[in-house]
Amino acid sequence: MILVTGGTGMVGTHLLMDLMKGDKPIRAIYRSEKSLKKAKRVFELYCIDWEEISRKIEWVQSDLLNPEVLQCAFDGVEYVYHCAAMVSFNKKDKQKLLKVNIEGTANVVNLCLSQSVKKLCHVSSTAAIGKTVHDEMRDEECNWVNDGSFSNYSISKYFSEMEVWRGSEEGLAVVIVNPSIIIGPGDWLQSSSNLFLKVWQGLKYYSTGVNAFVDVRDVSRAMLELMNSSIKNERFLVIGENLSFQHVFDMIAETLNKRKPFIQVKPWMAQLIWRVEAVKNVLFGKDPLVTKEAASSALSKVYYSNKKLKNALNFEFNPIQEAVNHSGGLFLKDYSSDS
Give the domain CATH number at 113. Answer: 3.40.50.720
Identity of the amino acid at 84? A
Q: Within the chain, how many helices (H) and strands (E) appear?
A: 14, 12
Which residue range is the domain that position 220 belongs to? 2-182+214-240+304-318
Flag whether 7 is in a domain.
yes
Please report, in tens digits, the pLDDT of each residue of the chain (339 residues total). 999 999 999 999 999 999 999 989 999 999 889 999 999 999 999 999 888 888 899 999 999 999 988 999 999 999 999 999 988 777 788 899 999 999 999 999 999 999 999 999 999 999 999 887 767 899 999 888 877 777 888 899 999 999 999 999 999 999 999 999 999 999 988 888 988 998 999 988 888 889 999 999 999 999 999 999 999 999 999 999 999 999 999 999 999 999 998 888 766 455 545 444 444 443 334 455 555 566 566 668 899 999 999 999 999 999 999 999 999 999 999 887 554
Is residue 279 within 8 A of residue 291, CB to CB? The reply is: no
The pTM (predicted TM-score) of the whole model is: 0.91
Flag whether 147 is in a domain.
yes
What pLDDT was estimated at residue 136?
81
Flag whether 202 is in a domain.
no
Identity of the amino acid at 281? N
What is the dihedral sign for C-alpha 154, 157, 163, 166?
negative
Flag whether 311 is in a domain.
yes
Flag whether 100 is in a domain.
yes
Flag whether 271 is in a domain.
no
CA-nearest of 325, 266, 274 to 299 is 266
Question: Quick check: helix, strand or coil at residue 122?
Answer: strand
Flag whether 137 is in a domain.
yes
Specify the number of domains making up the chain. 1
Cα–chain-centroid distance for residue 145? 22
Flag whether 75 is in a domain.
yes
Cα–chain-centroid distance for residue 313? 21
> What's the rounded Cα separation, in Å, for the pair 289 and 286?
9
